[in-house]
A and B are shown apart, each in its own frame.
Chain A
Amino acid sequence: DGGITQSPKYLFRKEGQNVTLSCEQNLNHDAMYWYRQDPGQGLRLIYYSQIVNDFQKGDIAEGYSVSREKKESFPLTVTSAQKNPTAFYLCASSVAGGTNTGELFFGEGSRLTVL
């Protein structure tokens, strides 16, 4: 089945540690995105990538890093510089980005808790 796979589903981190969230898609989509969702709130864009080897900061990129070395993979690292990392993280992809951004396909999310 085509789709987006996020792992792990649940992750616990001690303060001061970096953690990496995995996002893999087999939809052959060019664009991929990382969003953060806090309880009772909407989604805020962390980073997005419209093509391999290129990515742009979203609205809340501080304390996060990404890479896009392969079309199907867009891992997100939550660094120790992110002061309040406890949240639900959602990865998504779309056929294209830019002004033609259409439907986003989402993974099931990764819930990160800082102990």
Chain B
Amino acid sequence: SQQGEEDPQALSIQEGENATMNCSYKTSINNLQWYRQNSGRGLVHLILIRSNEREKHSGRLRVTLDTSKKSSSLLITASRAADTASYFCATGPGSGNTGKLIFGQGTTLQVKP
């Protein structure tokens, strides 16, 4: 079962512009995480935001979480060609000891030099 729905599915921008990706989910969560995947590689963790947090920053990344709307956004500022990758949100279980992180379908970001 896919918990996260990401929007847009694909995004193409020029270097230096900001990129915003959105993630919506359906059930209660303990935390929400964002990952990056370069083509043909494993995923790399970017940032984790807990359900009682509203905003978090890490370098050029800014993540917001709105639990009332069950949505999150990832903002990459001043994008670089090296940011070209797929970005996934993943939700951690809100109740029960399921141990399952559920991933969205991902947003493919292309940053043109």
Q: Are A and B bound to each other?
A: yes
- Pair A41/B105 contact, Cβ less than 8 Å: yes
- Pair A48/B100 contact, Cβ less than 8 Å: yes
Q: Which residue of B1, B30, B104 contacts A99 across the interface (Cβ within 8 Å)?
A: B30
- Pair B104/A98 contact, Cβ less than 8 Å: no
Q: What is the minimal beta-carbon distance from B87 to any residue of chain A, in angstroms?
A: 11
- Pair A43/B30 contact, Cβ less than 8 Å: no
Residues of A within 8 A of B102 (CB): 45
- Do A103 and B99 form a contact, CB below 8 Å, given A42-B88, A42-B104? no
Count of interface residues, chain A, beta-carbon cutoff 8 Å? 32
- Pair A90/B105 contact, Cβ less than 8 Å: no
Residues of A within 8 A of B92 (CB): 99, 101-102
A-B contacts, 23 of them at CB < 8 A, read A4-B42, A31-B99, A35-B103, A42-B4, A42-B88, A42-B103, A42-B105, A43-B88, A43-B103, A44-B2, A44-B103, A45-B101, A45-B102, A48-B99, A56-B99, A90-B42, A90-B43, A99-B92, A103-B33, A103-B48, A104-B33, A104-B43, A107-B42
Listed in ascending order, the chain B residues whose CB lies under 8 Å from chain A are 1-2, 4, 30-31, 33, 35, 40-45, 48, 88, 90, 92-106
